[in-house]
Copies of this chain bind each other. A is one copy, B any other.
């Protein structure tokens, strides 16, 4: 059983002031946001925003994981982004979505009405600045990912992905075992999603994972749980890129 695939949805509402993205905002901005905030919950597999839709809201994730993906006419799929708790999703100032946004796990979302948020943005420079900086960071991350897909082999991409998971403290925890401490990471998605994210196939992911295990870089506890045994080795495998540093 993978607890990350079945988050327990608590009944407490969004606490926007506690979201890292909004923390730096002045109190009145947060209050204004809170006034246009509605909670929505989705079950794994449900579509939040469909490709080419004109959604009425954007928001941020309180709990769960969303995947942004595109399905090509011939059926091939690609995930352009995984969004975890505290990430923003959707698109202000833009009519149509260019991707499907689906719940990869059960999810609870704090949603802002699009119109109301755009009004707010126009009247609140601090908020608009926050969004600008946020989008700039996303752009950087997207370009890092372009490099990942453009000139790295699958094993390197997998290593980079695991490093990103390591850096997200919510997904990683230090585990003391014997004399040396390991980093435990939970992979919150299945092999197929992971393959679509890394631009390859589930079989290749499987082989790459076990290759890392054979080299002693990771240990496989179960298909969704690994221990990082050799962090420097993993970093070397990833090609020393500084992944995820933009998204602390």
Contact = CB atoms under 8 A, between A and B. Distances in A.
Interface of A: 68, 70, 72-74, 76-78, 80-81, 91-94, 98-99, 122, 125, 128-129, 131-133, 135-136, 138-140, 142-147, 149-151, 196, 199, 239-241
A244 to B, nearest CB: 13
Contact of A80 (B70, B131, B147, B240): B147
A7 to B, nearest CB: 26
Contacts of A70: 147
B136 A91 contact: yes
Contacts of A76: 151
Contact of A149 (B99, B132, B150): B150
A68 B83 CA distance: 26
- Interchain residue pairs A-B with the least CB separation, the first 6: A150-B199, A142-B142, A149-B149, A78-B151, A78-B150, A80-B143
B135 A139 contact: yes
A239 B142 contact: no
Contacts of A142: 139, 142-143, 146
Nearest to A199: B150
Contacts of A94: 136, 140
Contact of A129 (B91, B128, B150): B128
18 contacts: A72-B147, A72-B239, A73-B239, A78-B150, A80-B143, A81-B143, A92-B136, A93-B132, A98-B143, A99-B143, A122-B125, A122-B129, A135-B135, A135-B139, A139-B142, A142-B142, A149-B199, A150-B196
Nearest to A124: B125
Contacts of A91: 136
A151 B78 CA distance: 7
Contacts of A77: 151
Contacts of A131: 132
A182 to B, nearest CB: 26
A99 B144 CA distance: 10
B98 A144 contact: yes
Nearest to A70: B147
A131 B92 CA distance: 13
Nearest to A76: B151
